Structure 1
């Protein structure tokens, strides 16, 4: 399984982000490219220790049983629901969001798993830094495939 903490895997993600444009067409979902980039940045704020969204009741009940979906080898399903704190519905500046996400990926990769926040995922609950690393890669891959890159 690929992992965002691996330099090669992080470089691959950065290269794919560079293939996006403001006019990239989504294959599924409702977000525009700039919104997707902002969503991915907001999501990365959790393991980076910049955001602390609360656990939802459904996640408290079933999150621990389904959390391998976040870090296993299977692709995430299309149109999967997201946590409210990372839902982006307003218009965003594509270039600004692209740069912000790239800087977050570089920082996350450079800081490594030792700097991963212990704050639990709002749905899946507590994750190890290794699980976060795989899940972050998988989440980015999911959204880049959503836009054909």
Structure 2
């Protein structure tokens, strides 16, 4: 599976995010494209240690969902979203795209780092697990909007 930290992934993600426009419609789910861009910032804020959103360890989620975060199997459409990453209010497309691109750029500057803080819900993750999880989440939502 592709990892955020693989060579070329940064350019691919930037290209795909740049291909979005405010008129893109979701192929599934309830978020509009600006809300999706806002939503995708959350996991990046977690890995960059900007915000843990007061998430707490959950043995049920950790036991049954952790491995799906970084497995090779694509996530199914319409998975539930935890409330802290849901937005019912409208967002500014260009502002949210810029923030997401900035976070992707920032994470790319850490591509050679080998140690990371534990995830607030899933606990200790290796660099490979963090990289796969970040790519998988972004890829899922970019596919949701057809890019």
The alignment's TM-score, normalised by the length of structure 2, stands at 0.90
Displacement of 1:19 in angstroms is: 0.8
**Number of residue pairs matched?**
146
Which residue is equivalent to 2:139? 141
Which residue is equivalent to 1:4? 4
- Confirm whether residue 78 of structure 1 aligns to residue 92 of structure 2: no
Displacement of 1:115 in angstroms is: 7.3
- Cα 1:4–1:109 change in 2 (3 A) is same
- Cα 1:121–1:27 change in 2 (3 A) is farther
Displacement of 1:42 in angstroms is: 1.8
**1:67 partner SS:** helix
- Cα 1:84–1:113 change in 2 (3 A) is farther
Q: In structure 2, what is the Cα distance between the partners aligned to 1:107 and 1:83?
A: 24
Q: Deviations over 1:122-146 (max 9, x none)?
A: 3x33322221111110000000000
Work out whether residues 35 and 92 of structure 1, in 8 Å CA contact, stay in contact via their aligned partners in 2.
yes
What is the correspondence of 1:121-132 to structure 2 with a 5 Å cutoff?
A: 121-122=120-121, 124-132=122-130
**1:138 partner SS:** helix
Displacement of 1:43 in angstroms is: 2.1
Unaligned runs of 5+ in 2: none
Q: In structure 1, what is the Cα distance between the partners aligned to 2:15 and 2:23?
A: 17
Which residue is equivalent to 1:42? 42
Work out whether residues 6 and 109 of structure 1, in 8 Å CA contact, stay in contact via their aligned partners in 2.
no
Unaligned runs of 5+ in 1: none
User: How well do the aligned residues superpose, as a CA RMSD in angstroms?
Assistant: 1.8
- Cα 1:137–1:109 change in 2 (3 A) is same
Displacement of 1:65 in angstroms is: 4.0
Q: In structure 2, what is the Cα distance between the partners aligned to 1:29 and 1:147?
A: 10
